[in-house]
Structure 1
Amino acid sequence: MKHLSRFLAASLLVLGLSTANAQDENNPWAVSIGINAVDVFPTGGDLMNQGEIFEEFFNANQNWNILPSVSTVSVGRYIGDGFSFTATGSVNQIDKFGELPDGTEVRVDDLSYYALDGRISYSFKNVLNTGWFDPYLGVGGGYTWVDELGAGTLNGSLGFNFWLTENLALNLQSTYKHVFEDYETGSYPPTHFQHSAGITFAFGGKDTDGDGVYDKDDECPEVPGLEEFNGCPDTDGDGITDAKDDCPDTAGTAEFNGCPDTDGDGVADPKDDCPTEAGLPELNGCPDADGDGIADGKDGCPNEAGPASNNGCPYQDKDGDGVLDKDDNCPDVAGTVANNGCPEVTEEVQKTLNDYAKTILFDSGKSTIKSESNKVLGDIIAILKEYPNAKFTVEGHTDSVGSEKLNQRLSDSRANSVKNYLTENGIDQFRLSAVGYGESRPISSNKTRKGRADNRRVEINLVK
């Protein structure tokens, strides 16, 4: 066992390069440990104690040299496309050295055996589309020492991995080692077979985002994350992964899919129009102090309930007539409900108007209003303003003196003269109309002076 320290040093070097033997890109590393058997007989060699190639290949009892302990360690890396590189260190003890042509076993005195080998192998697992049966072929080379003699070898391997789990396999392998140097009979080492059996542990993996979680287990393989979230990130640290977090940059709760509820009103901040004021869900998280269904921020009267049509404010009745301003045609003047909030022109008012109108004086035969009628016209204007939505007709009448045609024209002219005076002094022109009736509607007899005076008049009548 003179080269034991050399073998152990080389094995540690190989193990230091990695910790596993490649199987595929998800488990690129794997390590195999086991036992090996060395057989110098069925190699077709030139020594007299070697038989034909594969002769008595399975004669383990007579020709196999087996060290009854862990005697081989293999370490490798998956390269890609089914190819792997494997480095193997092995140790053994040789006491069976083939047999002579007459069948006599050749024995030697416990020769030390050491080997360091490298192999490129190709797995047929994907070709065969099987998950557990994994045959492979390999080619490589190495260096073998038998006692004090060493030689380089060209190696060809056939092996099988039987995968018990994703990461654990039973490994069987047979390697033909051809010695390059041309040794004379009795020199060592000769060309030989080396068989091995062991356990393979596959692990490791590709970690694209470098977060310590292999891609095969990483639900977010291209974004660095946390192991507890299967490789996915949780930027705000609220225990909800960014992919499932509606607010990945702000810590929140699972109830709101990772979003906060700052005001605690049960509406998550992104959906809360008033995130710092507790409010109602139906108003997108905004408060409604007066309970009128309009959020305070949009309510013109947040402390008084009112309809949306009036911006959240209650409708007023400024004149106190029982008709709300919105429905009141005369919101500043008390009226009646029947007249849409406007005052109604009574018969008494109508009589007063005409009593005033009859006293309007004109220049004789003309439509010019005399100045002494200004006071009575002011009184008429005051009455009309009390009924802002009422419409009136200014009527002109004459006596029967003169021609009917002239009287008609004069009555028209005087009616319009009064109308114009009223509109020029504050009465809406659309509330007034003017008409002349000439001598057609007398109220007294035209045969007396008093009767004719009564018939020469102006009336202001309500349009109903």
Structure 2
Amino acid sequence: MKHLNKLFVALVMLAGFSSQAQDTNNPWAISFGVNAVDTRVSAASKLEDQFSQFFNAKDNWNILPSVSYLNVSKYVGSNFSFGITGSINKIDRFVQPRIGEGPYTVTNPGDLNYYAADAVINYSLMNLIKSKTIDPSIHIGGGYTWIGDDMHAGTLNGGLGLTYWFTEMVGLSVRSTYKQSFEDLREDMPSHMQHFAGLTFKFGGKDTDGDGIYDKDDACPEQAGLKQFNGCPDTDADGIADKDDACPEVAGPAEFQGCPDTDGDGIADKDDACPEVAGLKSLNGCPDADGDGVTDKSDKCPDVAGPKENAGCPWPDRDGDKVLDKDDKCPDVAGTVANNGCPEVSDEVIKRLNDYAKTILFDTNKASFKQQTYPVLQAMVAILKEYPNSNFSLEGHTDSDGTDAHNQKLSEERAAAVKNYLIESGIASNRLSSQGFGESKPIDTNKTKAGKANNRRVEVKLVK
């Protein structure tokens, strides 16, 4: 019975950092339980004595009867996991080195507080023994340990562990770790064994749709599906998973990604703009009776070939000037091909405009019009509207009375006044420009009243 109790205590106390059987499905694990510290290792003078009383928990082990360690670990791949643990204990049994062949003695150093923080790299042997419940492991690592106020040192750790998995994510873990102190003297920090026992919970895995396939391996994590399709459903049972099936609710062959071809023209119905009438691939399965590249259903002239830009109909030429309306900038007025279908401004037209312009009268030394000038301006507007594709320049001139600067400014203002009036009367602003030349370009003498009157003028030029 005594040995049975020892075995039970050993099974409970050998636990530790538990990340066994972690994998990419449940990469995280958390363990908690109790730990025991055995200082006999550093007291033994011979190697065989270090482990001769391994199960002597009653005499040698320091146990804090409560949850005294916590470990968090993560699977990193290839059966390896990395964990961090923190543990606490109370040292009230300190094994002293024996004298000669005498017995080992155990003393109470004064209920010293024990704290440890350790990192561990764990390797699971579960795959080697091909078990789904028993998970042996080996581990190495290092950390730092504090005992009381005066003893503290870094340690190099290594040991063995075993986890029994009750379920896929819950297990009982036991582990023993040998902690080799970096301090030379036992009084500074003894090397020792630390044993752990507790429960381990794996987590991190997710199966949103409950089909038994973890989301990370489930090609359709939000839809319950079949294992042969990596968790995706096949609603129409055509052997193509819905995620790869272009028509998941209607069965079809694999060559058409699971879609039918009703009209048999080699184009799946989903891609066939005319699924019930055989047609051409180039036109998405629709026919083209007149061969103009426009499908019959979209062709406003299905029996007469025409360009796609005009819905399959020939382009019209409303004004009959042999410039198609699409290229005719004046589609309702006959013009010339050279002038993009618009009528060309002849010398006679320019003469008519200038004949009107010569009669434009301004108030003395101003750019405002006299009342009798408005009919003249309206006549000019009418002529310009006949040539909507032509541009014109309005040039202002004065006689020699006054200073050059005054005359230059006045000529500019008068040319601009004519331009603005024409724009306000419906002529596009981008067709007109204006400039003034002052008294620099007289067409008559400035020595007579009649000559001066001729020099005060606005001229119209065709901009080519």
| TM-score (norm: length of structure 1) | 0.43
